[in-house]
Amino acid sequence: MIAERTATATGVRMDFSIPDERSRMRLSRGLHRFELPRRNNERSALGYRESMSEQLSRDAYERLKAEYEDLSTRGRIEVAEEIELARAEGDLKENAGYHAAKDKQGHMEGRIRQLEHLLENATVVDGARKVFTMIYEGDDADMAERFVIGSQEERDGLPTDITIVGPGSPLGDALARTSSTGPLEYEGPNGMLQVVILSIDDL
């Protein structure tokens, strides 16, 4: 029952040189966007916080719910029929159609479990989502990036220049705690990082 909550590979040349300071900073900036699992919903020494739920817009929640309901009913019936038809051909060991149908069933069941977990734990965000336009300390304004807090399941519905950060990632956690423009510091995996929020707009 889904309950809604609101609120050198060969031929490839490998470079093992030690990265310079700018490269290390770029790597650190990339790591801040990802979540690492933590216990007891507590912040770790690196600034990560376990996200007990994913944030989804109302449209994304309804779209994923419809996909779940379709796969768990029509999808299961259709793939079961495909398996039975292939089984009737006999000799399952050499039956390519049977194995293809079983593989399809496995992938579908995996997606159903993924959707079920996501929908049961999702926090639906009604109203306009906030887009944070910001630069890192030392960057020029023309290097500004745009971020929104949410789930990667919403990627298809967003402009391509917007990066999605999870609410439990270091950056996502910091952005969720602010409502004003200006400097913002947060603890990333390799130490403190500072950004300057240039604007906060409705998506």
Instruction: Write the CATH number of the domain with boundaries 58-121.
Output: 1.10.287.180
Tens digit of each residue's pLDDT (9 = 90 or more) over 2-41: 555 544 333 444 343 444 444 444 555 555 554 443 333 3
pLDDT at 4: 52
Percentages helix, strand, coil for the chain (3-state, rounded to 5) are 40, 20, 35
The whole-model pTM stands at 0.63
Residues 6+ apart with CB under 8 A from 151: 54, 55, 56, 60, 118, 122, 164, 166
Query: Quick count: other Cβ atoms within 10 Å of Cβ 58?
Result: 13
Tens digit of each residue's pLDDT (9 = 90 or more) over 92-112: 777 888 999 999 999 999 999
Tens digit of each residue's pLDDT (9 = 90 or more) over 51-93: 446 788 888 999 999 999 999 999 999 999 999 999 888 877 7
Considering only residues 198 and 190, tell me which one the structure prediction assigns the higher pLDDT.
198
Considering only residues 170 and 20, tell me which one the structure prediction assigns the higher pLDDT.
170
